[in-house]
Chain A
Amino acid sequence: MPELTLGSTLSGYAFLILGTVLVDNFVLVRFLGLCPFMGVSKKLEGATGMALATSFVLTLSAICSYLVNSYLLAPLGLEYLRTISFILVIAVVVQFTEMVVRKTSPLLYRVLGIYLPLITTNCAVLGVALLNVQEQNSFIESALYGFGASVGFSLVLILFAAIRERLEVADVPGPFKGPAIALITAGLMSLAFMGFAGLGGA
């Protein structure tokens, strides 16, 4: 992240978000969060709901884990408990999201089904929290990093779902049907995203 040296300026923030959405896309470039990317991309509605829920959780958990890390773990010298405490924070945020979704939109709650609690194990969520510490991001940078990651995740998840709806009617040869062709498509998407390599950076 060479942009972070500009950290305090607004254009630095814009580059941070743009870089996380396109250049370092969490799904297609960093290969994090592949399980929901494959699991919930069969229908556009489900994908949109999942994208919204994950975006909410990602941004919120990035903020919460930053707070926990710098005001609880660092002062007490408990950095070795980082991973486990981040998992705890994420689980709480997911539980909170689940309660909100259940109250506000029972339909979305039914569509998301098992996948909502599974956000807990979405590696992108833990990845964002840990990468924030590794990059030594400030509070605002952490929030923006989480937000950018969730926008990038949502973007490719929704576009992928639209492609997969079309693949349903394609005359795919037997051995490639289902997850195989989905993985190949994801690979080709990742190939296309390599075009953004070096954007704004070096």
Chain B
Amino acid sequence: MQFTVASSPHLTPATSVSAVMLKLLLALLPGVAVYALLFGWGILLNLVIGCLSALVIEALFLFWRNRPVKKHLGDYTAIVTAVLLVLALPPLTPWWLITLGVFFALSLGKHVYGGLGYNPFNPAMVGYVIVLISFPTELSFWPGQLGLFGDFSLVDTLQYSLFGSLGEQTLDGISSATVLAAIDNGFSQGLTLAEIQQQAAFGLLGSAGFEWIALAYLAGGLWLIQQKVIRWQIPAAIIATVTLLSAVLWLVDSSQYASPLVHLLSGAVILGAFFIATDPVSASTTRKGRLWFGAGIGVLIVVIRSWGGYPDGVAFAVLLMNIAVPMIDYYTQPRVYGHSK
């Protein structure tokens, strides 16, 4: 009789990288569904382009580095990076810009550091910031709510993405400023906040359309915490500091600073808090450290939004706090059992 001999460890952990990443993608589904319903085919097309480029680019890098291609492609980390990057980009983006972003995310963000587990910076945000700084005009073009069954069909979207042509539509006809850009521009034109909030970009709670996407992300994020895929500290710290700081500014001068609700439900705060900042590799790893990390991101988001040149600051805030992570971890090491501090 033959027995199979297996080497230790004999108890395999219940969570693998691929299971965690799959759950993350699953949690993003409601947000993506609402996004597509409100803003049309663009986001779905972008996701397909992003994932395809991620698979090809990741496979190339793995091949060059003599790593098992199939095994590492199967852990979905490249897909997650691409999906987060695409969700940060506007829904109508040329295909080459997405591919370029994914390339920089996976090369400079991940593989030059030795691949998964070693990158000090969040790869998706590295890719996003590089394309944001390189192509500011493309990235400031946000379409209005085109709808999945509206005038702007899948063919129109494909045409724009592949060839950059809008067909019969005009750029002004479909574009609409985001709330944060509207606030930034309005103040530089000398408008008060009340005047700016008359604009179409503002919805019921925060930003028209984006508020519902943010709420869908919130639902997905809470599910992730319940599934113990992410810990509560980072999202809680980010949301708490953004709320607190923007509330203080708003109470001091509500004609100059947007309300906390606008801050939370526009831009990428909810997506960033639950899905981007919680990246297990580049975020802080200690319990107290996570709170500091999240609080730092929250403060930087409000500072960059209120006084900085860029309308939204989530990506910069995450990268800036990534710089500080080794220091945070160093100073928040938990006490070893049986030893005094």
Enumerate chain A interface residues (CB-CB to B < 8 A).
44, 158-160, 162-163, 165-167, 170-173, 176, 181, 184-185, 188-189, 191-200, 202
CA distance A167 to B126 in the complex (A): 17
Partner of B129 from the list A166, A172, A192 (CB cut-off 8 Å) is A192
Contact flag A181-B112 (CB < 8 Å), given A162-B326, A165-B326, A170-B118:
yes
Q: Considering only CB atoms, which chain B residue lies closest to A199 in the complex?
A: B308
* Cβ contact within 8 Å between B309 and A188: no
- Given known contacts A165-B326, A191-B129, A192-B322, is B310 in contact with A172 (CB within 8 Å)? no
Smallest Cβ distance from B252 to chain A, in angstroms?
Answer: 15
Which of these, B121, B304, B315, contacts A188 with CB under 8 Å?
B121
Distance in Å: Cβ of A184 to nearest Cβ of chain B: 6
The residue from A173, A185, A189 contacting B114, defined by CB atoms under 8 A apart: A173
Asked if B316 is at the interface (CB within 8 A of a chain A CB), the reply is yes
Residue of A nearest to B328 (CB): A162
**A196 adjacent to B304 (CB under 8 Å):** yes
A195 touches B112 (CB 8 A): no
Q: Is B324 an interface residue (CB 8 A)?
A: yes
Q: Apart from A194-B129, A196-B304, list 12 A-B contacts with CB within 8 A.
A: A167-B120, A170-B118, A171-B118, A173-B111, A188-B319, A191-B129, A195-B304, A198-B308, A198-B309, A199-B303, A199-B307, A202-B309
Task: State which residues 75-120 of B face A: CB under 8 Å.
Answer: 108, 111-115, 118, 120
- Do B120 and A163 have beta carbons less than 8 Å apart? yes
- A172-B112, A192-B316 given; A159·B308 CB < 8 A: no
Residue in B closest to A202 when the chains form the complex, CB atoms:
B309
> Could you tell me the distance between the alpha carbons of A20 and B330 in the complex, rounded to whole angstroms?
27
User: CB-CB < 8 A to A181: which residues of B?
Assistant: 112-113
Closest 5 CB pairs of A and B: A198-B309, A195-B316, A171-B114, A192-B319, A162-B326
User: Which one of A162, A184, A191 contacts B130 once the chains associate, using CB atoms below 8 Å?
Assistant: A191
A-B contact pairs, 13 of them (CB 8 A): A167-B118, A171-B114, A173-B112, A176-B112, A188-B108, A188-B121, A188-B319, A189-B323, A192-B121, A192-B316, A194-B133, A195-B300, A199-B304
Q: Which residues of B contact A173 (CB under 8 A)?
A: 65, 111-112, 114
Find B326's partner among A163, A176, A191, A202 (CB 8 Å cutoff).
A163
Check B162 for interface membership: any CB of A closer than 8 A: no
- B312-323 near A? 1/0 per residue, CB < 8 Å: 010111011011
Question: What is the distance, in angstroms, from A69's C-beta to the closest C-beta of chain B?
Answer: 33
Query: B327 interface residue, CB < 8 Å from A?
Result: yes
